[in-house]
């Protein structure tokens, strides 16, 4: 069996930046174990698989270890493949996912992705978090799946050196850290060692949490953001009620075939 594969760098205006994602267009679904094995072989933070559904697509995402409910950068990458390789006449694409219908549209030389907002709530008790971070944030918030640690400065976020073993033992599967940016509205980093991703380069789903937080903190709904991982990536974020629109660019890296 031969399966097409594309690798792109999402939320990047050049190759070797942003967050790499593998994208595999399929005619019909492969067995889950095969898709998981492909994602493990790719060893990227996410591999996306999609199949046609009328004029739309069904879309799923796998880390090297597990299937996940939402992945922003691999959704952006999947839309790029459709717009630039499979159906260049299209300007909008809709994906049916575990997180509902996600829409991506062309926005100049960028892509605009519509995702559900995921506001965080204040958290009074996060056992083990400070030890895992090796630092004390100004405040801690939580969602069902994440802790959010807010720091006063970009430098504090940049200089964090988490203990990933301790972090993997927390009762949330991911931790995001954030602060006001020096030359953007806010910066962040994202850690998910329990899911096999010690640090994610650029995380679309994290900005579903961070955009509502910073929109309320700064008093406006259009924001600029940068994830300050080693590779780094830039986003424009818009809060639209209970949705978040993330705008970013995609740089293609490779195109090939998987033979299994």
Name the residues annotated as catalytic: 46
CA 15, CA 13: separation in Å to the nearest integer?
Answer: 7
Cα angle at 7 between 3 and 246, to 5 degrees? Answer: 120
Please provide the distance, in angstroms rounded to a whole number, between the alpha carbons at the two ends of the chain.
5
- The sign of the CA dihedral 201, 227, 203, 15 is negative
Cβ neighbours of 77 (radius 10 Å)? 31
DSSP 144-213: SSEEEEE-S-HHHHHT----HHHHHTSSSSEEEEEEE-SSSSEEEEEEEGGGTEEEESS-HHHHHHHHHH
Q: Is 249 helix (H, G, I), strand (E, B) or coil?
A: coil
Contact 21, 29 (CB under 8 A): no
Cβ neighbours of 66 (radius 10 Å)? 13
Cβ neighbours of 74 (radius 10 Å)? 30
Parallel/antiparallel/unpaired status of strands 222-227 and 186-192: parallel
Q: Which helix (H) or strand (E) holds 2?
A: strand 2-10
Q: Write the CB contacts of 220 (distance below 8 Å, at least 6 apart in sequence).
A: none
């Amino acid at each position: 069996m031969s399966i097409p594969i594309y690798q792109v760098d999402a939320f990047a205006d050049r190759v070797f930046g942003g967050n790499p994602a593998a994208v595999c267009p399929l005619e019909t679904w492969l067995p889950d174990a095969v898709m998981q094995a492909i994602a493990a072989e790719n060893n990227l933070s996410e591999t996306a698989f999609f199949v046609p559904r009328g004029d739309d697509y069904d879309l799923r995402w796998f880390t090297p270890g597990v299937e996940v409910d939402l992945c922003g950068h691999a959704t952006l990458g999947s839309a790029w493949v459709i717009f630039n390789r499979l159906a260049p006449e299209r300007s909008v694409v809709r994906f049916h996912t575990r997180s509902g219908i996600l829409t991506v549209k062309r926005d100049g030389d960028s892509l605009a992705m519509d995702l559900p907002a995921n506001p965080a709530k204040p958290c009074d008790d996060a056992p083990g978090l400070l030890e895992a971070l090796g630092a004390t944030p100004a405040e801690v918030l939580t969602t069902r799946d994440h802790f959010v640690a807010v720091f006063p400065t970009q430098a504090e976020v940049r200089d964090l050196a988490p203990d990933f073993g301790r972090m993997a033992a927390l009762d949330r599967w991911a931790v995001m850290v954030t602060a006001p940016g020096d030359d953007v509205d806010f910066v962040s980093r994202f850690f998910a060692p329990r899911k096999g991703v010690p640090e994610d380069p650029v995380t679309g789903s994290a900005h579903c949490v961070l955009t509502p937080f910073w929109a309320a903190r700064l008093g406006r709904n259009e924001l600029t953001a940068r994830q300050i991982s080693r590779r780094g990536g830039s986003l424009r974020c818009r809060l639209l009620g209970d949705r978040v629109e993330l705008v970013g660019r995609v740089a293609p890296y490779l195109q090939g075939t998987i033979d299994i």
